[in-house]
Structure 1
Amino acid sequence: MNDNGDPNSLPPQARKGRGALSNRSGRFEAETREAFDDGWGSLDELPERVPTTLSIDTAKTVISYNQSPDVPFDRSINPYRGCEHGCAYCFARPSHAYLGLSPGLDFETRLFYKPDAPELLREELRARRYRPAPIALGINTDAYQPVERRLGLTRRILDVLQETRHPVSIVTKSALIERDLDILQAMAAEGLAQVAVSVTTLKAELARRLEPRAAAPRRRLQVVERLAAAGIPVSVLVAPLIPMLNDEELEKILAASREAGAVDAGYVLLRLPRELHELFAEWLRRHEPLKAERVLLRIFEARGGKAYDSTFGARMTGTGAYADLLGQRFKLAYKRQAFPGAPDFNLSLFRPPPAGGQMDLFW
């Protein structure tokens, strides 16, 4: 029997290599989808694996701007919509509802990409009114998710940024970033590139269930080590911290990251906006049934009695006793590990792309 009390309604089904258990309808849909046992053996036909499909995103611009005081950048580029890493907690899942798709399985299996992103970037950097500031690459969804290995879209974007000597910051949980060490190392030598590696847990078994297609925790620390050895300023983002699942690992993750060569660190408390609340609750009840309700209760306590509070200044860290304790623990551990902090970006080297084969003499 499912949560709605219908004996014929099927419980969410785990699929190999996928994080979401269901394909709940997005908030803009007029109808809802629900798995149902019709008595004709249809359960035997449920596929064990759900294939990934790719479609072209026809966006006319590639740089997105924001005015949020909670993030250290005002512009970003996301080459992909949807993410095959399949992280059960991903805050970007609700964005798939704008496409008429589910933030559940659709988000991690029906992907969109911008094949002309490098060309669009050139046009936007060429605009006379453009002034350089660090571009955050792959913030909504990982720019180094598995499909990037085949498409190479992120590398082409980096080529444009290197050519124009434009500063870039990257957040990823993928070892594929090592493919682009040559570009990142050259840019970092001029103060133009920094990387943050997301490390959610050091427990391989938990990571396998939470982030089914992302790099293993040990491999991510190896990425930190290799980036640092190449002279690239690398930070670690402990995100998200989930009550009673990985929050006790905060100090251990910071210590392991510092030992690997990280120069800075940050953390984010789990956020459950819109459809993500029910999707993550499904995941908890399936994978952590004995902890599920206590985890959700603690999240609500840290979010003012709601699944999510979008208030600036609180949405990343929460409020209340539990959130305050996390903040204190982070500050103490950060100080204990003596993180030196990331260096400033160099904004003085930027040169816009050439127009008509020649540099703009009046820039």
Structure 2
Amino acid sequence: MHYVQVKGILSAKNGMNLYRGCSHGCIYCDSRSSCYQMPHAFEDIEVKQNALVLLEEALRRKRKKCMIGTGSMTDPYIPLETELGSVRQAMELVYKYGCGFTVLTKSDRILRDLDLLQKINASAKCVVQMTLTTYDEELCKKIEPYVSTTRERFEALKQLRDAGIPTVVWLAPILPFINDTEANLRGILDYCIEAGVYGIICFGMGLTLRDGNREYFYQQLDRHFP
């Protein structure tokens, strides 16, 4: 982990990443691609030290309420979040300024913030997006080794449903000869039905295989699927 000072926190579409890099170890992660110009080891998490100050300044200037999103580049609920609490503090600011919130994660750590999710959803709107790639728990441990298992994410989706939080599942990526079986897809879809998700997204379905993404993915294929 290391700290940096940044010039801005919100993108033009009101997305933010409080961290850069990730420790979940997903073998297919596009955020490893060289085009994102990450100047440090991917597992050496970059913490944007002044992010919360910048976020409050940006929210204070907003003339219209909007949805603030996080999780597009780095899963916000990496283990480090348990220690630092940056995401929770950001959510508190989102609630304070009356904006909505959407988050994409693969971790059941999000349940720590269930109270805030409910408060935001009651005052504006809140949507939790959860990635599910495999119904097979053993396969999950190979392709997403350091994140909540699919079963744990499914249980989290049910708790979010019971709390009145709208949920969406990202069914991606589909990896040829690994998780593209009918049994796997039906298993995930059954989870989605039981959890009452509002929708399913298949974002391109496969991988970009850009520089950085490609090399790491092929290394992990050699390791786990020789």
Global fold match (TM > 0.5): yes
- In structure 2, the partner of 1:100 is 39
Does residue 258 in structure 1 map to residue 193 in structure 2?
Answer: yes
Q: 1:171 is paired with a residue of what secondary structure?
A: strand
Superimposed CA distance per residue, residues 249-272 of structure 1 (whole angstroms, 9 cap, x where no aligned partner): 223212212202212111231222
- In structure 1, the partner of 2:58 is 124
Q: CA, structure 1 residues 56+95, in 2 after alignment: closer, same or farther (shift >3 Å)?
A: farther
Q: CA, structure 1 residues 145+278, in 2 after alignment: closer, same or farther (shift >3 Å)?
A: same
Q: 1:189 is paired with a residue of what secondary structure?
A: helix
Superimposed CA distance per residue, residues 123-176 of structure 1 (whole angstroms, 9 cap, x where no aligned partner): 112226x54332211211101111100000000000000111101111100011
Determine which structure has more spread, i.e. the larger CA radius of gyration: 1
C-alpha contact 1:89 1:270 (8 A) present in aligned 2: no
- In structure 2, the partner of 1:160 is 93
- For the residues of structure 2 that align with 1:202 and 1:56, how far apart are their CA atoms? 37
Percent of residue pairs identical: 35
2:173 maps to which of 240, 247, 252: 240
C-alpha contact 2:98 2:124 (8 A) present in aligned 1: no
4+ runs of 1 displaced by more than 4 Å? none
- For the residues of structure 2 that align with 1:151 and 1:86, how far apart are their CA atoms? 20
Matches within 5 A, 1:306-317: none
Q: 2:120 is paired with a residue of what secondary structure?
A: helix
State the shift of 1:97 in Å: 6.5
Does residue 267 in structure 1 map to residue 202 in structure 2?
Answer: yes
C-alpha contact 2:169 2:192 (8 A) present in aligned 1: yes
Does residue 287 in structure 1 map to residue 220 in structure 2?
Answer: no
| 1:136 alignment partner AA | G
- In structure 1, the partner of 2:27 is 88
- For the residues of structure 2 that align with 1:127 and 1:155, how far apart are their CA atoms? 21
Does residue 64 in structure 1 map to residue 1 in structure 2?
Answer: no
Q: 2:176 is paired with a residue of what secondary structure?
A: coil
Q: 1:281 is paired with a residue of what secondary structure?
A: helix
Q: When the two structures are superposed, what TM-score results if normalisation uses the length of structure 2?
A: 0.92
State the shift of 1:286 in Å: 1.9
C-alpha contact 2:68 2:101 (8 A) present in aligned 1: yes
- For the residues of structure 1 that align with 2:34 and 2:4, how far apart are their CA atoms? 14
Matches within 5 A, 1:1-363: 54-65=1-12, 74-94=13-33, 98-101=37-40, 106-108=41-43, 110-127=44-61, 130-248=63-181, 249-268=184-203, 269-271=205-207, 272-289=209-226
C-alpha contact 2:22 2:45 (8 A) present in aligned 1: yes
Q: 1:242 is paired with a residue of what secondary structure?
A: coil
Q: Unmatched 5+ residue regions in structure 1?
A: 1-53, 66-73, 290-363
C-alpha contact 1:181 1:227 (8 A) present in aligned 2: yes
| 1:217 alignment partner AA | T
- In structure 2, the partner of 1:21 is none
State the shift of 1:78 in Å: 0.5
RMSD value, Cα: 1.6
Q: CA, structure 1 residues 226+131, in 2 after alignment: closer, same or farther (shift >3 Å)?
A: same
- For the residues of structure 1 that align with 2:46 and 2:118, how far apart are their CA atoms? 29
| 2:190 alignment partner AA | A
Number of residues of Structure 1 aligned to a counterpart in Structure 2:
222
- For the residues of structure 2 that align with 1:253 and 1:98, how far apart are their CA atoms? 34
C-alpha contact 1:233 1:263 (8 A) present in aligned 2: yes
| 1:117 alignment partner AA | A
